[in-house]
Chains A and B, each alone.
Chain A
Amino acid sequence: MVIDEHITTVSRPIWPTEETSEGSQELFPRTSTDPAELGREVGAVLRLPEGPTLDPTQIDIERSDDETMIINMGPQHPSTHGVLRLMLELDGEVVLRTKPIIGYLHTGMEKQAEELSFIQGSTNVTRMDYLAPLHNELVFSLATEALLGVEMPRRATYIRMLMTELNRISSHLMWMATNGMDMGSTSMMIYGFREREMILSFFEKTTGLRMNHNYIRPGGVAADLPDGWEDDIEVICNTVETRSYEYDELLTGQTIFRGRMEGIGNLTAEEALALSVTGPLLRSTGVPWDLRRTMPYLAFDEVEFDVIVGTYGDNFDRYSIRLNEIRESVKIVRQLLANMPSGDYRVQDRKVTPPPRGRIDSSMEALIHHFKVFTEGFAVPEGEVYVAVESPRGELGCYLASDGGPKPYRMHIRGPSFVNLQALPLLMRGGLLSDAVAVISSVDPVMGEVDR
């Protein structure tokens, strides 16, 4: 018998062994598990029978040695933040495996984008992440402008930053509200919605709509900021900042709240990176990755702010990251208020931007350009581009392929919630069913963006 000498010469740490029916097996530490294997183990790719493929006669109800139970949560469950459906495998009250089932809100928006011209496209993407519509418009506009190769006026860039940061505040406030409600704090729900309402009123004043604004368009923004916007922003900043300390008082030190948040839904940095998780989820594991800072777009390299990171990657870290990001966004908005440049709020390129209404009455060219821009749109040079921005939920990417026509050949949105949802089985594993609601809330999925 030939003994392979390599086996004995390989040096490796000696792990404890355990005698099993299949011989002695080494007990490796959990960190040595391959992320792909871990995904399989915790059921990230769990294949549970569903729909017409399930044969009722095949269900083994007599199986008494196996105490696990599969229950269905959603899609109409109020705590799933929309139409998320979860299949949970439970052992008593402990969640073993989870499978998120999505698609209940799928409306084929990527297909529809191929039928809409670039100037209509932002009306489509704004309906994806309905809590941060301006970020969706922004990423689509940036992708189109990258293909067009137009240079934004500084005021347009600053207005975009102002509006998206306000949107981040309102989205995080909405999260504070719904998270508070999930944790049983209904007063937090009322407070969160109250402050968000101020920002939505400002959006209505500026864009004409409370959501689905179609405000940030390829070529700039739809309208200049309204008269007296400085006062509105001042009031919003002061109120939100003051109230954020009230939330601190209400929630952060609250015993029940902390008990339900601390140490629940743990995620490590390795797992988060392997699962492509971004946004507050990734930052809660201690990875200081915020696209505004690390790969600046717009003019985020000109403003001062801190990237908030957590340590433990649990629910409480994610809560405190979002709360502190509200304050950081207020800080950014204050700087934008102080440094708002004057000038154009959209590109003065008549092929991209329709002429102002007043010019149409006096200029034939203006009339023609106006007609052409709104009937057939503008042609975008052939090419493809991927642009990513930091939405309140993580990396929001837009892949745009153009064949040289006025409509995108292919538009793909990389929704952060869609990707982040993959971490759900990992976060829920081994926790209690009652914590499932807290974990879903801390991931902050927006189903409009997940299903698109």
Chain B
Amino acid sequence: MTTQTPTLNAFEGFPTVASPGVAAVAFIPRENYKAVVAALKADGFEMASDVCGVDYLIAGARTLPDGVKPERFEVVTSLLSMSRRIRVRIRVQLPDLDPTVDSLFELYPGTEAMEREAFDLVGIRFAGHPDLSRILLPEEWEGHPLRKDYGIGRVPVQFKSTPGPR
């Protein structure tokens, strides 16, 4: 959108790439995630537009900048600055066995439902979330459907009891 690249001090030292519609896409290690978002919030990013999880289990070669180790899961957070009229996107790599990342609830309470959705559908754990429970699926549902290894058609018909023995 903007022609000149806006200065984003919070991203200094982290690999960034360009993408249409955003000022920068930054790859942040999960240890720095919350601190970087806090710095961005102090830098005029008033709103967290979106949080979503992606499972890169079966993706082929993903183009990542140097120094970013590809992991199975990714949390993608879009922040919006209304005063500067720019967006930024943060991609956090999360390992298969421990997909845990800090929750942004303390900084942006509006991420509550979005993080619950990412937990529900992709199985990302958000440390510090006040109520990390299923939001779209029933509470007793097993598995996370938007993972690539989720068995589609595993449950034949959802809202019927299993047929009894003949």
Contacts and interface: CB of A to CB of B under 8 A. Distances in A.
The answer to whether A and B come from one shared complex is: yes
Interface of A: 34-36, 38-40, 44-47, 50-53, 102-103, 106, 108, 110-111, 146, 273-278, 287, 289, 294-295, 382-388, 395, 397, 399, 401, 403-404, 409-410, 412, 414, 418-419, 421-422, 451-452
Contact of A36 (B105, B117, B133): B105
A45 B22 CA distance: 31
Given A45-B131, A412-B50, A403 B136 contact: no
A46 B52 CA distance: 22
Interface stretch (B7-15, B31-39, B107-115): B107-115
Given A45-B112, A275-B109, 12 more contacts: A44-B112, A52-B139, A110-B121, A111-B152, A274-B110, A276-B49, A386-B19, A388-B87, A399-B52, A403-B59, A403-B62, A409-B59
Contacts of A278: 47
Interface in B135-166: 135-140, 145-146, 150, 152
What 6 A-B pairs come out closest when comparing CB atoms?
Answer: A276-B110, A103-B136, A275-B110, A412-B52, A45-B130, A414-B50
Interface in B47-92: 47-50, 52, 54-55, 59-60, 62-63, 76, 78, 82, 85, 87, 89
B82 A287 contact: yes
B106 interface: yes
Greatest chain A CB density within 10 A among B76, B110, B113, B133 is at B110
Contacts of A383: 19, 63
Greatest chain A CB density within 10 A among B50, B112, B137 is at B50
Contacts of B139: 50-53
A385 B20 contact: yes
A36 B106 contact: yes
A404 B52 CA distance: 20
B21 interface: yes
B46 interface: yes
A386 B22 contact: yes
A51 B22 CA distance: 42
Given A47-B131, A274-B108, A276-B110, A103 B138 contact: yes
A321 B41 CA distance: 29
B110 A277 contact: yes
B33 to A, nearest CB: 17
A289 B48 contact: no
B55 to A, nearest CB: 8
B22 A410 contact: no
A398 B136 CA distance: 19
A295 B19 contact: no
B106 A387 contact: no
B1 interface: yes
Given A103-B136, A409-B59, A274 B109 contact: yes
A70 B26 CA distance: 45
Contacts of A276: 47-49, 108, 110-111, 114
B135 A399 contact: no
Given A110-B146, A111-B145, A384 B19 contact: yes
A103 B116 CA distance: 12
B46 A397 contact: no
B50 A399 contact: yes
A36 B104 CA distance: 10
A291 to B, nearest CB: 10
Given A111-B145, A275-B110, A399-B78, A102 B136 contact: yes
A418 B78 CA distance: 16
A397 B49 contact: yes
A403 B87 CA distance: 23
A294 B60 contact: no
Nearest to B147: A111
Given A102-B136, A387-B21, A404-B60, A395 B49 contact: yes
A151 B39 CA distance: 36
A39 B82 contact: no
A399 B21 CA distance: 12
A386 B78 contact: yes
Given A44-B112, A386-B89, A395-B49, A410 B21 contact: no
A287 B62 CA distance: 39
A189 to B, nearest CB: 30
Contacts of B146: 110-111, 410
A294 B113 contact: no
Contacts of B110: 274-277, 419, 422
Nearest to B86: A295
A382 B114 contact: no
Contacts of B136: 102-103, 106, 451-452
A409 B54 CA distance: 9
B120 to A, nearest CB: 8
A46 B112 CA distance: 12
A121 B152 CA distance: 19
Contacts of B111: 276
Nearest to B105: A36
Contacts of A395: 49
B150 to A, nearest CB: 8
A146 B22 CA distance: 12
Given A276-B48, A384-B19, A386-B89, A40 B130 contact: yes
A422 B48 CA distance: 13
A39 B109 contact: yes
A13 to B, nearest CB: 23
A418 B22 contact: no
